[in-house]
Amino acid sequence: MAIFQRFRLHPTFWLLVVISVWTGHFLEIITLCILVFIHELGHVAAAWSYGWRIQSIELLPIGGVAKTDEWGTVPAKEEIVVALAGPFHHVWMVLFSLLAFHLGWWSEAWTTYFIQGNLFIALFNLVPIYPLDGGRVLQALLSYVLPYRLCITVTYWVSIILTIGLIGWGLSSSFPLFTISLFLLMTNIKHLRSHHLQYLRFLLYRHHNGINHDVPIRRIVLQQPIITSSLMDRWYKESYHVFELKDKSGTLMGFIPEERLLKKYFEDGKIGKIQDLVG
């Protein structure tokens, strides 16, 4: 994995460098950027260990992002591990700073700043706001108990509500927090507007690849008359589906495995008569 060939600096990042030099805080700002980079390397290392497709690491003025092509298409437990791998790296960095102070390499003031920087980055990223690590963990956990389309929608609405709270806090206490929160709000509004595309991508991946890890079988009862337009919204990410078709009297007509329903939906563009899929 040629990771450093995929490392990028956002054009606005250089504005941060100029400001840090102008204000005399270059060393402090660059240290925080290095911490963010190590944080993102934590995500990349965990993702690489699972065989995820990694696109790039990009540093922004408000943080960093490790871009992969796997969110929503891999087991929820992998998503949780990859999300938490970033904050976990701050643990060993804090321990290293304490060792450096104990050996006399670092001053007390610098050690304090280094620890505070690590704690801030780790704890802020654990806030359950998408696309922060805490928001990704929230979405992965919800995917165990909610239909995946609803899981996506709930994640973004929770993120928007919490972000509005952060914006209010930032207005009264911290301009950088206000700026970051505003960016997160716009990001989640954008994701909410296009959440159907994320869900469609999930269904299309399931259609082509199936589900390649052990999951419970979820039986979903379909009783006539069936509203086929809402049928595809009932998919759970961490389940294999078997649909039980019943007539108006409740008599079992047969079973429909998820592969057959997905094949009909994507290859014909519509489900049609559901009873024709009974096997």
- 134-170 per-position pLDDT tens digit: 999 999 999 999 999 999 999 999 999 999 999 999 8
| Domain shared by 140 and 200, yes or no | yes
Model confidence at 21, in pLDDT bands (50, 70, 90)?
low
Q: Which domain holds residue 2?
A: 1-126
| Domain shared by 209 and 228, yes or no | no
| Domain shared by 173 and 243, yes or no | no
Of 124, 125, 130, whose CA–CA distance to 191 is shortest? 130
Q: Considering the domain boundaries, does residue 268 fall inside one?
A: yes
- What mean pLDDT do residues 264-273 have? 79
Domain end call among 213, 246, 268? 213
Model confidence at 202, in pLDDT bands (50, 70, 90)?
very high
d(CA 93, CA 105): 15
d(CA 150, CA 46): 27
Q: Considering the domain boundaries, does residue 131 fall inside one?
A: no
pTM above 0.75, yes or no: yes
Q: What is the tally of structural domains in the chain?
A: 3
3-state secondary structure of 237: coil
| Domain shared by 29 and 120, yes or no | yes
Please state, for a pLDDT cut of 90, what percent of the chain lies above it: 53
Question: Which string of DSSP letters, residue by residue, matches 239-252?
Answer: -EEEEEEE-TT--E
Q: Is the pLDDT of residue 61 over 60?
A: no
Q: Considering the domain boundaries, does residue 177 fall inside one?
A: yes
CA 69, 85, 182, 127 dihedral sign is positive
Q: Considering the domain boundaries, does residue 154 fall inside one?
A: yes
Span 81-120, pLDDT tens digits: 999 999 999 999 999 999 999 999 999 999 999 999 999 9
| Domain shared by 150 and 116, yes or no | no
d(CA 181, CA 132): 11
